[in-house]
Each structure stands twice: as structure tokens, then as C-alpha cells.
Structure 1
Amino acid sequence: MNYKNGRDVLPPSLLKELQNYIQGDLIYIPKPTEKRALWGEVSGTRKLLAERNKEICLYYTNGWSVADLERKYHLSGESIRKIIVKAR
């Protein structure tokens, strides 16, 4: 990161306004940021897990036991229960 003198890069009116708040100290001005995608949105993992969870709930409502779902999806019983409860 390079440091620049405010006199060299800021308009005089903005420099004067900043000096009302901070003088002689270093200040970091972050880049404007775009909102980042949530985990798994870019790769599609989030969508795949949502579909899997819907399937789990559908099987459960159709009478499958938690043990059956554990074997089918290779998840713990606690994970299966969390998915079912969250869907309600």
C-alpha cells in the first residue's frame, strides 16, 4: 500500500474539511466495495444443498425415518433433525 500526501490527491476544499476531523495522522480510505456473494452462490453449492434439504423434508413427510435418511444422505441424525426443524 502506498501512502500519498493529501495535498497531492485531494481537492483543497475536501482537504480542509478532513483537517477538521484528523490532522497529521494516517488515515486509510478503503476501496468502494460491491456486495460479495454469499457462501456457495458462485459455485452453486448453496442451491444444491437447498435442493437436498427439500428432498430430505419430502422423504421425511412421506414416512422415512431419520435413520433411513442418515443412510441415504450420509449425514448424522442431528443434522437431519436440524434440516427438518429449520424447514418447518
Structure 2
Amino acid sequence: MKYLNATSVLPDTLVKELQNYVQGGYIYIPIEQEQQKRWGEASGYRQELEQRNQQIKREYRNGVSIECLTEKYCLSLYTVRKIIYQK
């Protein structure tokens, strides 16, 4: 997150109004709900995990044991089972 000086991005009247509430502090302005991205979407990590999980499911269907998958992907037995059995 990058900090910005309010005087460089907001109109003077708005800066003066904000100074009635906060002076010399930081204000976090959240993104609008419609523009928020889900976890991992911006970095692409969500897609990487989805591809990994699909690969785990394919390998399991092709006969690779859950124990081998836990070793190969460095995941717990519980996690691999959850990936395989999710709908």
C-alpha cells in the first residue's frame, strides 16, 4: 500500500473537512466492494492453486496413492484428501 499526501490528490475543501476529524494521522480508504478482488486473484496465486489441485485430482484418478501425493506436493494427508474429495 502506498501512502499519498491528501493535498496532492484531494480538493482543498475536502482536505479541510477531513482535518476537522484527523490531523497528522493516517486514514485508510477501502476499495469499493464491487471492485474488490478475491484472495490471490491479483497475484495469480489462486489460479496456480487451482491448477495444482486439478493436477492432484488427475493423478489420484490415474492411480497415484494419497500418500505419494502428500510427499510430491508437500501437503498433509488431510489437505490432499480435502482436495480430492471436494465437489
Give the TM-score of the pair, scaled to structure 1. Answer: 0.62
Give unmatched runs, 5+ long, in structure 1.
Answer: 5-29
**In 2: Cα distance, 1:65 partner to 1:46 partner:** 25
Matched residues, number:
62
Identity %: 39
Per-residue deviation, 1:35: 2.4
**Structure 2 match to 1:53:** 53
How does 1:1-88 map onto structure 2 within 5 Å? 2=18, 3=20, 33=32, 34-86=34-86, 88=87
Per-residue deviation, 1:76: 0.3
Choose 1 or 2 for highest CA Rg.
1
List structure 1 runs of 4+ shifted beyond 2 angstroms: none
Could you say what secondary structure the match of 2:38 adopts? coil
Give the TM-score of the pair, scaled to structure 2. Answer: 0.63
Give unmatched runs, 5+ long, in structure 2.
Answer: 1-16, 22-28
**In 1: Cα distance, 2:76 partner to 2:58 partner:** 18
Deviation larger for 66-75 or 30-39: 30-39
